[in-house]
Each structure stands twice: as structure tokens, then as C-alpha cells.
Amino acid sequence: MHFGIPPSVVAPVCLIGGVLAIAWALLAYRAQRRFLRRALQAIGVVQSLRAETLQRSTIYFPVIQFTTTSGVVVTAESKTSKSGLSVGQKIQVLYDPNDPKNLEINSFWARWGLVWMAAFTALLLLGSGAAAVVALTASPGR
């Protein structure tokens, strides 16, 4: 599919975007590693599911109640959505002991999904930028 955007425009835009996406992936990775170093684990119970409608679909963010290792009962909403949960269901969470409302569902995608998304975006943009550079070098008249 050709959108009429010349490779001389696509190449720098995609390459710069790819570099920014790499920075995003690295920052997301570092933030997640920092969180995991200090996070404690608990078993929580889904209290409710907050629905958020996006165009043609609805995603659900669970509100989870759990007890910290110091005995404090905390109710907080997950920053990530999780399908297939129901009210009353038990779920493993990770939380920051200094800020227990900062919790994550203890699953691979809840922990690493943002990092993977940023890395995929970087690959996509860098690949598109590289293809545009190849197209530029293949047709020197542009």
C-alpha cells in the first residue's frame, strides 16, 4: 500500500520515532525492575470491576482488596486490565510496601506488557525507517 509519503520524509520520522521508542522501552524496563526489587506479594480478592469503553470494546480494571504484611487492609485499582476475572475471585498481587495502593497483578503480561509493547513499536519504526533508507538509496533521483 502506498500512501504517497516520500521515503525522504518516512526515513527520519521513523528512525527518530524508533530511537524514542527504544528509550521508552528502556525506561519502562528500569521502572519495572525497580518496582519488582521492592515489591511484596499478597493474595487479594476482586471487589469490583471498573469498565472502560474504548471504541468497540470494553476493558475491565479490577479493584482488589488485600492485606499487607504489616496487617493493613488496602483496596486499590489495578493499573492494568485483566480479562476473565470475577468479583470475589482471589488473585496474586505485587505491591509497593511504601505505597500499597501502587499494585500490579502478578502475571507476566501485567508486569512486562508495556515493555514488550514499547520494544515492538521500536522494531516496527526502525524497520520502517530502514526500509525507507533502502528505498532512498535504491532510487537516487528522489
* Cα-only R_g, the chain: 21
Q: Is 21 exposed, middle or buried (0-12, 13-18, 19+ CB in 10 A)?
A: buried
**Angle of helix 7-38 versus helix 108-138 axis, rounded to 10:** 160
Residue 89 DSSP label? -
- pLDDT tier at 74, thresholds 50, 70, 90: very high
The predicted structure's pLDDT at residue 121: 96
State yes or no: pLDDT of 5 exceeds 90.
Answer: no
- Global confidence as pTM: 0.74
The predicted structure's pLDDT at residue 141: 55
Domain boundaries in the chain?
8-136
